[in-house]
Each structure stands twice: as structure tokens, then as C-alpha cells.
Structure 1
Amino acid sequence: MKLHMLTVFVTDFQIAKSFYSDVLKWTLVKEDSYHLEMMTEGTKVHFYLADRDTSPGDYSREARTVFVFETQDIENDMARLMSKGVIFLHTVPNENDFSKYAAFTDPFGNVHELCEMKKNHLPNG
């Protein structure tokens, strides 16, 4: 099966547009009374209204979906996003065998991550 699109549930379209368009630099494609459609790097993302926000909880120990965004400079991108009010769950990047990563939330409690691959795990590394 081919992944067709991603869906994000939010409680406010205006806040979603501001966060995903202005902060994360996604492109707004379509807006109507019941959903938003955005594009990021060739991936369609649809937004629909939910009744209430979620909580990041213990995000890495509970079942959930997390969008992971590749970065070449995680510290710089963390600082840039924090300067725009983005709340990170990690104040400094965590590390594993292949990457440095840091989780952040959107205004609705959805968890996403920045990920900087280690040089020995890059396609030509």
C-alpha cells in the first residue's frame, strides 16, 4: 500500500494554520469549513477539527504516531523554533545509535520530533 496522506486532528484551524504555515513553513493548499489541506516536501497533510486537545503524556512509551523532521543542525533548529514559542519535551537533544533527536508539541499536544542523522548513518556516510 502507498501512503496517501497524513491527518492531524486540531481544535482550531486558525491556530493550526499559524503553527504549521508560519512556524513549520508548510504550504496551505486548501481551506474550507471542515478541513485544511497543506503540503510539506510533497506530502499531503489534512487537518480536521477535534473536540479537545491531546496531551504528550509519556510519548515514547505510549502508542502513538509521531512526525519526524530531518534537520542538518538540530541545535540551531531547536533554537529557531523555541524563539517562535514552540515547546520542546527535550531541552537538549537526546541521542541513540544513529541520530540526535528532540520532541516538541504543536499547540494541540500532538508530538513531533526533529532528527539529525549521525554522519556514519547518512546515505553516503
Structure 2
Amino acid sequence: MSLAMCMISIKVNDIEKAKRFYCEGLGFQVEKAYSESIVELNFDGLPIILEKVSDLNTLDYYDNSQIVMGLQTKDIVSEIEILRDKGIELLFEEPQKCPPGLFNVIKDPFGNYIEILEFQ
């Protein structure tokens, strides 16, 4: 097989709110608006597509099958404080242990989960 990761699509119900969250909150860059309902962001060279849908995600992080995006950091404690100061919802108060190191989970305004990971 010759597959390669080419993009991640995030379903949101408010494109402008999503651009503020992902760009101002997490540092993504707007690349291109294809329409009022589809916008391409860029994060570390990977295209992230925001696609407008009518309903919020209602899946539970622990109980439902889903794809979860992960962002790596070298200092999760500092990163958590920055995210908290920006008003971004964290699933845990403190970093949690995982096999490769530590993690926490943030929830975007649309019910999508994003893991923040520090590999040790």
C-alpha cells in the first residue's frame, strides 16, 4: 500500500468560532476558505479541514469509538496552564500517565476531543 496522511477533518457547527478556537487558542493558521462551510487550516504542515455540520458531537471520550487528534508538547504542565488561561476546557486538572508519558485532553466548543501529549 502507498497511503499517506493528507488531512484531518474536524466537524463543527460554527466556522468562525472554530477558527478562533483553533487559531487563537491552539496556534493553527488559516490556509484557505473553500466556502462558508469549509475552511482549511494548517498545523505543523498538516492540513486541518473545518467542516460545518448542524449538530454538536455528543460522543463520550471514554465510551465511544472515535478518532482523536493528538498534539505533542515538551512541557505539558506549562501547556496546560497556557490553555487554562485561554479558557480552554481541560478534561483533567492534572496531567495523566499513559504508556509513552503524560497526557491531558481538551474539548473544543463543538464536543471534539484533542489529546495533548508529552512523551518521556
- TM bin (shorter chain): over 0.9
**Residue in 1 that maps onto 2:85:** 83
**Residue in 2 that maps onto 1:5:** 7
Are 1:70 and 2:72 matched, yes or no? yes
Structure 1 unmatched runs, 5+: 119-125
CA RMSD of aligned residues (A): 1.1
Deviation at 1:67, TM superposition (A): 0.7
| SS of aligned partner of 1:60 | coil
Q: TM-score, normalised by structure 1?
A: 0.89
- Contact kept, 8 Å, 1:56 with 1:111, in 2: the verdict is no
Q: Choose between structure 1 and 2: higher strand proportion.
A: 2
Aligned residues: 117
| SS of aligned partner of 1:45 | strand
* Counterparts of 1:11 and 1:44, CA distance in 2: 19
Q: TM-score, normalised by structure 2?
A: 0.92
* Counterparts of 1:61 and 1:75, CA distance in 2: 26
**Residue in 2 that maps onto 1:40:** 43
**Residue in 2 that maps onto 1:24:** 26
Q: State percent identity of aligned pairs.
A: 24
Structure 2 unmatched runs, 5+: none
